[in-house]
Amino acid sequence: MDNVPNIDDVVQPTHDEHSRQRFVSVLRKHVLTEFAADVRTVYDKRAAPRFTRKHGRAPKTGLEIRKEMKDEPAFQEWIALMQQAQYMTWWSVQPAIERRIPELVQVARAAAAANPTGGSLRLDPSVEIPKTVTELDVHLMPGCFHTEHVTDDVAQGALYHFGTQVFSGGLSHRLRGGWGATTAQFLKIRYPHFRPAKYLDLGCTVGREMFSIMDAFPAAETFAVDVAAPALRYAHARAQALGKTVHFSQQNAERLDFPDNSFDLVTTSFFYHEISVQSGRKIAKEAFRVLKPGGLMINQEMMPVAAAKDPYYDFTADTWNEFYNNEPFVGAFRRQNLRKVFTDAGFKAANYLEIKLPNYGTWPDAVFAACVRGEAVPPEVENGQAWFSFGAWK
Ligand SMILES: C[S@@+](CC[C@H](N)C(=O)[O-])C[C@H]1O[C@@H](n2cnc3c(N)ncnc32)[C@H](O)[C@@H]1O
């Protein structure tokens, strides 16, 4: 296989830029833990008793808690810091990317021309990018996924790739394992005879979780779809350097051009909360159409459905993302009946699947396997970070 330069190596932060990135990772972790704990104290000591005095009962939903908390200075300070840390995440990687845009484009072009993996990149400028991508900078990422600054641009792919590493810095569940590896292990343990021959990832961006799934099923012929050309170019160049054969195409996942009954496995990750409920329903239908009988659609989300934990959890998860992080669909996504989304799409109710899994790699393999089999989950796992997955077998 011809060697092509790894596009990830083109972006080299300076010493000061690297320090700034580390600082932002630590700041984010601090705000997510220490500051969030202060907000919880204010809720327990002041806002919750005040609500109970007014209504004669405790708050039942995250929305009720939001109304009670929105004027609390501790909450306002926490949101301001969360938002600032989120902006700083992207700003901390932008300069190193921007000064190398010509080289990034050149490496992506060379990788596409050499194409040593035999994969492909099919771009279609006539694809209308959904308003949910064009009308706001999702999770405050400047330029979102799709903006093109120069011809054949890849910068937004690079921004997502490097920015999310700063975002996750210090959060071990994102670095070890991740959803892709966790799901692949889940499938291998729970469904040992499942061997997908044809695999499709929707909303792939730069392919992070998809590449981990491919590691577990190396024989699967793999296809990946996104609406954002810069992300697809970057992903295709990465695939060349990583030796992964993937057929990338620019398509709206609501209207795929693949024939019926094509795939054994369809995945999405960090995707459903960023699209409207209506779009999510269309995509579940489209997945049903392109899946072969006996195939599986499995999706990942960061947060379980509403009320799966408690109203306070819903308050923090939804309020931050919906109102301050340009992810306006999070609450609606979490409050919908996901089983119904899949049965309306054509899947049988008995084939619907919903599971919370600890991160593969964080816990000993025996603990992970016990969780996959549905045996007793140790409280430290139950209370720790877990991946929420949902989907259905056709
Ligand atoms: C948060 S990213 C997904 C991250 C990715 N799965 C990973 O492994 O890192 C969401 C992606 O979905 C894409 N997207 C949004 N709506 C879409 C649609 N209707 N069809 C296809 N892609 C879409 C966006 O362009 C973006 O790249």
In ligand 1, the atom with minimum distance to the C-alpha of 269 is: 6
Please state the rounded mean pLDDT for residues 344-355.
Answer: 96
Please state the rounded mean pLDDT for residues 50-62.
Answer: 95
Query: What pairing do the DSSP bridges indicate for beta strands 386-393 and 198-202?
Result: unpaired
Nearest alpha carbon, ligand 1 atom 24 = 203
CA of 206 to the centre of ligand 1 (A): 9
CA of 209 to the centre of ligand 1 (A): 12
Percent of the chain with pLDDT over 90: 80
Express each pLDDT in 72-122 by its tens digit. 999 999 999 999 999 999 999 999 999 999 999 999 999 999 999 999 999
Nearest alpha carbon, ligand 1 atom 9 = 208
What residues are paired with 358 via a beta bridge?
A: 386
Distances (CA, A) of 356 to 7, 269, 347, 386: 34, 14, 21, 6
In ligand 1, the atom with minimum distance to the C-alpha of 252 is: 20
Long-range contact set of residues 141-148: C-beta below 8 Å, sequence gap at least 24: 141/90, 142/90, 142/94, 144/228, 145/205, 145/226, 145/227, 145/228, 145/230, 145/231, 146/227, 146/228, 146/229, 146/230, 146/231, 147/230, 148/229, 148/230
| pLDDT for residue 1 | 47
pLDDT value at 2 more than 60? no
Distances (CA, A) of 16 to 22, 84, 95, 96, 101: 10, 19, 11, 11, 20
Residue 120 CA, distance from chain mean position: 23
Pocket of ligand 1, beta carbon within 6 A: 130, 133, 145, 202-205, 208-209, 225-228, 231, 252-254, 269-271, 274-275, 279
| pLDDT for residue 192 | 94
Helix (H, G, I), strand (E, B) or coil at 87: helix
pLDDT value at 265 more than 90? yes
Indicate the pLDDT class of residue 310, thresholds 50, 70 and 90: confident
CA-nearest of 277, 337, 327, 344 to 307 is: 337
pLDDT value at 259 more than 60? yes
- Lowest-confidence range among 22-36, 270-284, 299-313, 345-359? 299-313
Please state the rounded mean pLDDT for residues 243-270.
Answer: 97
In ligand 1, the atom with minimum distance to the C-alpha of 138 is: 1
Helix (H, G, I), strand (E, B) or coil at 2: coil
CATH number among 2.130.10.10, 3.40.640.10, 3.40.50.150, 3.40.190.10, domain 1-394: 3.40.50.150
pLDDT value at 20 more than 70? yes
Percent of the chain with pLDDT over 70: 94
Residue type, 36: A
| pLDDT for residue 306 | 66
DSSP 8-state code for residue 55: H
DSSP 8-state code for residue 291: E
CA of 271 to the centre of ligand 1 (A): 6
Express each pLDDT in 175-221 by its tens digit. 556 889 999 999 999 999 999 999 999 999 999 999 999 999 999 99
Best residue among 123, 140, 204 to mutate for probing ligand 1, ranked by most atoms within 8 Å of CB: 204
Q: HEC states along 235-268?
A: HHHHHHHHCCCEEEEECCCCCCCCCCCCEEEEEE
Indicate the pLDDT class of residue 355, thresholds 50, 70 and 90: confident
Nearest alpha carbon, ligand 1 atom 11 = 203
Residue 214 CA, distance from chain mean position: 17
> Structure tokens of 369?
């396997």
Nearest alpha carbon, ligand 1 atom 12 = 203
pLDDT value at 32 more than 70? yes
In ligand 1, the atom with minimum distance to the C-alpha of 210 is: 8
CA of 309 to the centre of ligand 1 (A): 26
Please state the rounded mean pLDDT for residues 244-260.
Answer: 98
Express each pLDDT in 123-144 by its tens digit. 999 999 999 999 999 999 999 9
CA of 374 to the centre of ligand 1 (A): 30
What residues are paired with 298 via a beta bridge?
A: 267, 391
